[in-house]
Every structure is written in C-alpha cells, then in structure tokens.
Amino acid sequence: MAIYINKSTRVLVQGITGRQGSFHTAQMLAYGTRLVGGTSPGKSGQVVEGLPVYDTVFEAMEAEPAEASILFIPAPFARDAAYEAIDAGIKLLVVITEGIPLHDALDIMDYAHREGTVVVGPNTFGLVSSGQCKIGIMPNRFYVPGPVGVVSRSGTLSYEIVGNLSDAGLGTTTVVGMGGDRVVGLGFIDVLKEFEKDPATEVVVLVGEIGGSAEEEASRFIAAHMSKPVVAYIAGKSAPPGKRMGHAGAIIEGGRGTFASKIEALHEAKVRVAELPFEVPSLVREALGNS
C-alpha cells in the first residue's frame, strides 16, 4: 500500500526542458514513475527523455491525462504555473521551487484548497511511494519498500534517515517532504492521518526542526488519534534564537518553536525521540517489536 501516489499515478513535469527538470525527469523515469509528458512554453513538439513536450498543461492533459504534476518553475512564475495545473484538473501538485513570495504561496494554497488539489511544498524534495512512484528530487537508491512511513520538513535529513533505515533493512511505504517554507500545503497532521489509515505502514518517523509550532500540533494529534508508534528526530538543537537555519520556517521567534518545546511535546505524546539521526533505525525496530 501507499499514500497519495502509487504505481498507477500518471505524472506531468512542468518545466521539463530546464536543467533541473530534464535531469530529474530521467531520475524519476529510472525509478519507475509513470511520467506521461511535460510542459515548457514555446517548446511544444520537443522530446525530453522520450516524453512529449507541450506548451501548456491543458494541451498535455488533452493528449495524456495526468493526476499529478511536479513544478520545476522559477519562483516568479510558480504561482501562474500552479494555477494552470489546478485549472487543468491536476489533483496532486508537487512544488519543488524555493523562494516563492509569501503572498504567492498563500494564493496557491487558497486556490488549491477551493479546487480540491493537494499541494506538497513549496521548497520540498517531493514524495515517493517506495518501489512504486517517485515525484521529486530524492536519490533513488534509498527508497525501498518496507513498513515505515516518513514525513519530514527537511530534505537532506530525510535522505540520511531513510538511508540509515535502508542500511538497517528497514524500507519505507511512503516518504513525504512537507517543505521548509513558512507556508506549505500538506502538514504533519495531514500526513499522519493518512499513515494511520494505511494498513502497510506499521510505524511512522517524523523529522522536524526548530521554528513554528507544527511539531507541537502534531504531538497533540499523535496523543489523541494515532494508534501506530511514532519515532521522531528534531534538528536545530544548537541554533541560536532569531537566526534562520536553512529554511524560512526554521527560525525561533518570540520564544516559540524552540527545540526544548518540541521535544517536551513529543515526549508527552509518548513519541520515541532520537538524539541523533543514526539512532532512528534502532528506535524504529523497538517500536515495531512493541506494536
């Protein structure tokens, strides 16, 4: 099983002729993702990695209908590209782009919500249902099928942790990157709800970081609604208040979003918390043994 995407999901690549778009198109194809085409204004008729290129999402959808789209679109044009995908009927939108203006991101989320489209990101590594479908930029080799669901605010940390799980013989069901910006689509609670319903997911790994209150809110949801064990790792223990650490959302302001407050909330929810990333696999094994 998987959440959000599976081997049947048909995927469109917006910005397919750019350097990042074309590179990651090849990687997604190599993973087995069912890509059906791509878009790049003025490039209709070209072919990238064997896939047809169209000027617009509407043209692409007429030729090869898709359920999902991934955006490799520069930040100033990302809102228009997202609107185009939503208007054309895309129901899962993965926004890799970072640096999207705050009001543009708010507009995207509002419009997507009204039209029933799920947004992953922006500033995300994407999502992958292991062995079935990858819509994102994560390295292929770490994502092998298994019983662990992962939801993360950090791309590089998730790669390290999933790699550690894989080395320990623990594969994953679905791995979701929420994105590191202040405004994102899917949040921890959205993904936790889906993992709770997924029969193949036996334990969930939550990878958080300082800043905001998402981890505290997730902790309350876990305590009240999760029957499955959760293991967590929180980055940013040494970060000084007021200093941005990597992501726009990873900043402590006014005493909110501290490392200590997140750890306290997770402990209150009976979540096993790793001190270091390499400790996650042993805590997952412990959770699986007790579940």
Residue appearing with tokens 């081997």: 7
Asked if 152 and 271 sit in the same domain, the reply is yes
Domain count for the chain, please give it.
2
Lateral strand order in the sheet of 203-209? 133-136, 126-129, 172-177, 145-152, 203-209, 230-235, 272-274
Model confidence pLDDT, tens digit, residues 269-290: 999 999 999 999 999 999 999 7
Among 24, 225, 247, 267, the active-site one is 247
Average pLDDT over residues 198-216: 95
**Is 247 a catalytic site residue?**
yes
Using a pLDDT cut of 70, give the percent of the chain over it.
93
Residue-range definition of the domain harbouring residue 35: 10-120
Q: What is the CATH number of the domain that holds 151?
A: 3.40.50.261
- Model pTM? 0.94
Task: List pLDDT tens digits, range 171-196.
Answer: 999 999 999 898 999 999 999 999 99
Residue 129 inside a domain? The answer is: no
Residue 241 lies in a domain: yes
| Residue 125 falls inside a structural domain | no
How many Å separate Cα 237 from the centre of its chain?
23
User: pLDDT tens digit string along 68-99?
Assistant: 999 999 999 999 999 999 999 999 999 999 99
**8 torsion bin: left (phi>0), alpha (psi -120 to 50), beta (else):** alpha
Same-domain check for residues 156 and 279: yes
Output phi, psi for 152, to 5 deg.
Answer: -140, 145
Clarify whether residues 27 and 85 are in a common domain. Answer: yes
Angstrom distance (rounded) from CA 45 to CA 51: 10
Mean pLDDT of the chain: 94
pLDDT digits (tens, 9 = 90+) for 16-53: 999 999 999 999 999 999 999 999 999 999 999 999 99
